[in-house]
Chains A and B, each alone.
Chain A
Amino acid sequence: MAVAFYILAFFSVLGGVLMVTRRNPLSGAFALVLSLVSLAGLFAGLAAEFVFILQVLVYAGAIMVLIIFTIMLLNLNPNEMYEAPVGRFHTVVLVALCAVGLAAFIQVFSQLPSAVTAIGPDFGSIEGVGEFMLTRYLYPFELVSALLLVAIVGVVLLAKKVI
């Protein structure tokens, strides 16, 4: 179990680092897919079967494909991808801010108690999460569907040349 965790964690971090450092956005997108699939594996290890499937299906299978589609559609020339480097002062300040933030997070997280509690066989399954979603979280669920509808209408409006 521990080995699986370290392997998946390594690949998710590797994918993230490659994503933010590659100059070509398409390479970055593929690196992010690696990261997302590794995260899906971690979700499966945390007994979240439904979220694991959704992660692969929605994130890796749909959202990332959409991003890659857009990158390929724009057909950007990698040689024109020059990005002006961030100034030295800004770099120092921003990296320091990131480091402080990370340290703060880790400090807060390390205070948390860690004890594995027992879970039923239904935990994280499609039936379990589905029932939860349609009872306790019914209104947020409906709101999310309305949000998605708004997003669809917005995208159509944006992408259409003549309305």
Chain B
Amino acid sequence: MGEITIHHYLYLSAILFFIGVYGVLFRRNLIVMFMSIELMLNAVNLSFITFARYSSSMDGHVIAFFVMALAAGEAGVGLAILVMVFRNRATVQADDLTLMRD
């Protein structure tokens, strides 16, 4: 097991971030893509908090707070758009939304 260093936290953060990237790239369901973005934001938050702890300054905490506020606003607007898309097109699959392409 050994002692937990800054690297453990940062590797975890990177892994979570790329799980989120995978979700955005490979899933076509808008809700899942949306949640993948939330996971990426959280992974970044984890590295902010880690850096804050290992450099003994609380800037990281404040920035994590800002990220959360941003995520809350994003969730509100994003889900409202999602509901509107569903009302108009009856689908939440990104592949079905081809109005601009056709």
Task: Answer whether A and B touch in the complex at a CB cut-off of 8 Å.
Answer: yes
Interface residue from A36, A55, A119, A147 paired with B69 (Cβ < 8 Å): A147
Q: Is the CB of A129 within 8 A of B54?
A: no
Q: Determine whether B99 belongs to the interface, using a CB cutoff of 8 Å to chain A.
A: no
- Residues facing B in A129-157 (CB within 8 A) are 129, 132-133, 136-137, 140-141, 144, 147-148, 150-152, 154-155
Number of A-B contacts (CB under 8 A): 222
Interface centre among B7, B32, B52, B84 (most CB of A within 10 A): B32
The answer for the CA separation of A28 and B65 in the assembled complex, in Å, is 25
Judged by DSSP, the binding face of B is helix
Interface residue tally on A, bucketed by range: 35 or more
Interface centre among A46, A116, A117 (most CB of B within 10 A): A46
Query: What string of 1s and 0s marks CB contacts (under 8 Å) between B63-99 and chain A?
Result: 0111011111111110111111010000011010000
Interface residue from A76, A98, A123, A141 paired with B25 (Cβ < 8 Å): A98
Q: Which chain B positions have C-beta within 8 A of A36?
A: 42
The answer for the CA separation of A144 and B74 in the assembled complex, in Å, is 12
Binding site for B on A (CB under 8 A): 1-3, 5-6, 9, 12-13, 16-17, 19-20, 25, 28-29, 32, 35-36, 39, 42-43, 46-48, 50-51, 54-55, 58-59, 62-63, 66-67, 70-71, 73-74, 76, 81, 83-84, 86, 91, 94, 98, 101-102, 105-106, 109-110, 112-119, 123-124, 128-129, 132-133, 136-137, 140-141, 144, 147-148, 150-152, 154-155, 158-159
What are 5 A-B pairs with beta-carbon distances under 8 A?
Answer: A16-B16, A48-B61, A116-B54, A151-B76, A158-B80
